Amino acid sequence: MNRILNYKNATTELSKREKIGQLFMPAAFINDSEEEIQHLERLIEKNHVGGLCFFHSRTSAATNYEGKKEVIYNERSLQTLQKLIHRYQLKSKYRLLMAIDAEWGLAMRIENTPQYPYAITLGAIQGNLDLIFQIGKNIALDCKQAGLHYNLSPVVDINNNPNNPVIGYRSFGEDKKNVAEKSAAYVKGMQSEGILSSVKHFPGHGDTATDSHLGLPVITKSKKELLDNELYPFKKLAKEKVDSIMVGHLAVPALSNGKNIPSSISSEIINGLLRNNFGYDGVVISDALNMHAVSKNFPVKGTLEWEAFNAGNDILCFAEHTHEGIETILKNATENQIEVAFGRVWRLKEKAINAEKSIKEKLKNPDRLNKEIAKKSITLVSGNKTIFSFLKQQGFAHVSNIQNIDNQFIKLIKYNHGTNSYTLAEDSITSIKNRIKNEENVLLSVFPPHAKPTNNFGFTSTEVKFINEMILTKNVILYLFGNPYALKVFDYKNAKAVVLAYQDFKVFQEVAAEHFFGEIEAVGKLPVNIE
């Protein structure tokens, strides 16, 4: 069985090369081939890496996924992950730190596992930080059952750019205090079960229209503007001594002496601003070093890993050239640089591994908590009670763009009102137009195909035109089950009422129906400006 030494013994027992190896966290893929698994085992044995960061598959990693490669579904990914963790641990001289991105639960990476609402949904909740704490706690418990120590979340970026292609729904919103409070509650929930967190993406990835997986975003704001807004949550959480802070790949010239270089390799931003100005002495972890914002600029193997380490990163996540990186750091780094970074990382590992759970239990059932969140987040964007009563009294048709007829919102509306429902799962747009041409009142439920804004959230131009025609020619109450920014695709201001349900989960559909029936009030608040 591999082991974790206490820090005092580790400083004398590990060689300098082993200490540098502990700073590396290469990617591991749950659905790898046996050949690829054995390759990673050899890398672990040879280089004494400190940990692994798990992704679903090589094709699902963002730099590949955007290329539209097919992601193979594996209903037993969780069991595969658990076996791989055990297998990789056996190959390591020292116990590995196992990490994953589980911002909204293991479901972010693993099929058939609990999913919790996106951060933007949680941002709509007023107060009730105990619900956010409980989400962090539940996700932490699930991570422990999987054999993971380290959840690389939450996102604390302030999303104030509607066209942001990579943050958006992953952010708690655009209000800095709301983002800071919700992030802190989420972190405390994970800490309560001994799971490590990493707030990201320092110094703030919210106001960009470029995906750093594919290119380098540039933020041209002044330092004062950034301190007043984007940096606020990071500064606050740094003071609370969070486990780690992840540095993003974005150029912020105002923070790096005017240089147009990624923050992840900027000593001015990491050692200067985060360490010296904010007083943060915890672990700094790089965003994935395979991301094109940085990787494409360093063709010589090992150079990027050295630059990231030299800038102040303690953990080098998704390093693609581990062996060359170790050798380059060994050649260039000072004794003090290595010892300080190693000390931070090793103490973090001790903390996580001492909290490991040996008894396996079932994953948490998210439904009860998710339903409570649905009730506290549902938001009335426009309209009042009068129009809801009018529609129910006068009669209405229900129209939905949903592609799956097994839909709880449709079932409940039909059961309670006996109304006709027309969906794109069963009818063409032309057919629905004919069926509702004599209807004056329409309940419209809209389910965005995608959470990201690319290509109008997945809506076709024909769908957009059809929905807008209904909004402009009939009395429409619109319920949106998705990213609130998706409203911008439509002439939503002409609807008689607009309600945001945020998620398409079954329990969110139930709560939306309860709201339409008048059984609950909409108490959520829009967390972003969609004007």
pLDDT at 212: 80
Domain identity same for 348 and 470: no
Domain identity same for 267 and 374: no
Half-sphere exposure of 135 (CA within 13 A, CB side): 28
Choose the final residue of a domain: 329, 353, 377. 353
Using DSSP's 3-state secondary structure scheme, residue 478 falls into strand
Query: What gap in Å lies between CA 246 and CA 194, rounded to an integer?
Result: 19
Residue 74 belongs to some domain of the structure? no
Choose the final residue of a domain: 353, 380, 402. 353
Query: What gap in Å lies between CA 499 and CA 388, rounded to an integer?
Result: 11
Encoded tokens for 400: 């939905």
Q: How many CB atoms lie within 10 A of CB 263?
A: 31
Whole-angstrom CA distances from 115 to 82, 122, 216, 504 are 18, 13, 30, 12
Q: What is the pLDDT along the chain (531 residues), one digit of tens a residue?
A: 566 778 888 999 999 999 999 999 999 999 999 999 999 999 999 999 999 999 999 987 655 444 557 788 889 999 999 999 999 999 999 999 999 999 999 999 999 999 999 999 999 999 999 999 999 999 999 999 999 999 999 999 999 988 898 899 999 999 999 999 999 999 999 999 999 999 999 999 999 988 888 899 999 999 999 999 999 999 999 999 999 999 999 999 999 999 999 999 999 999 999 999 999 999 999 999 999 889 999 999 999 999 999 999 999 999 999 999 999 999 999 999 999 999 999 999 999 999 987 777 889 999 999 999 999 999 999 999 899 999 999 999 999 999 887 899 999 999 998 888 999 999 999 999 999 999 999 999 999 999 999 999 999 999 999 999 999 999 999 999 999 999 999 999 999 999 999 999 999 999 999 999 999 999 999 999 997
Query: What gap in Å lies between CA 113 and CA 454, rounded to an integer?
Result: 26
Residue 15 belongs to some domain of the structure? no
Residue 57 belongs to some domain of the structure? no
Query: What gap in Å lies between CA 472 and CA 491, rounded to an integer?
Result: 8
pLDDT at 65: 44
Domain identity same for 380 and 443: yes
Whole-angstrom CA distances from 487 to 162, 385, 400, 467 are 11, 21, 15, 11
Residue 20 belongs to some domain of the structure? no
Q: Which residues constitute the domain of residue 475?
A: 367-517
Query: What gap in Å lies between CA 321 and CA 332, rounded to an integer?
Result: 16
Domain identity same for 171 and 275: yes
Instruction: Answer for the pair 396, 419: CB distance below 8 angstroms, yes or no.
Output: yes
Using DSSP's 3-state secondary structure scheme, residue 84 falls into helix
pLDDT at 406: 86
DSSP for 311-367 reads HT-SBEET-S-HHHHHHHHHHH--HHHHHHHHHHHHHHHHHHHTT---S--PPPP-H
Domain identity same for 312 and 377: no
Choose the final residue of a domain: 308, 327, 353. 353
pTM, two decimals, is 0.96
By C-alpha distance, which of 229, 241, 158 is closest to 197? Answer: 241
Domain identity same for 318 and 431: no
Q: Which residues contact 327 (CB under 8 A, 6 or more apart)?
A: 302
Domain identity same for 319 and 379: no
| Residues pairing with 200 in the sheet | 155
Residue 3 belongs to some domain of the structure? no
Burial 316-335 (b: 16+ CB within 10 A, else e): bbbbbbbbbbbbbbeeebee
Pairing assessment for the beta strands 379-382 and 497-500 based on DSSP bridges: antiparallel
Residue 528 belongs to some domain of the structure? no
| Residues pairing with 397 in the sheet | 442
Domain identity same for 344 and 467: no
Instruction: Answer for the pair 370, 508: CB distance below 8 angstroms, yes or no.
Output: yes
Instruction: Answer for the pair 450, 444: CB distance below 8 angstroms, yes or no.
Output: no
Residue 340 belongs to some domain of the structure? yes
Domain identity same for 315 and 432: no
Domain identity same for 300 and 436: no
- 503: amino acid identity, one letter: Q
Residue 60 belongs to some domain of the structure? no
Instruction: Answer for the pair 75, 112: CB distance below 8 angstroms, yes or no.
Output: yes
Give me the number of domains the chain comprises: 2
234-238 long-range contacts (CB < 8 A, ≥24 apart) are 234/156, 234/199, 234/202, 234/203, 234/204, 234/274, 234/278, 235/278, 236/180, 236/184, 237/156, 237/180, 237/183, 237/184, 237/187, 237/199, 238/274, 238/278, 238/279, 238/280, 238/282
Q: Which residues contact 439 (CB under 8 A, 6 or more apart)?
A: 396, 397, 474
Looking up residue 444, the CATH number of its domain turns out to be 3.40.50.1700
Looking up residue 113, the CATH number of its domain turns out to be 3.20.20.300
Domain identity same for 201 and 323: yes
Domain identity same for 310 and 371: no
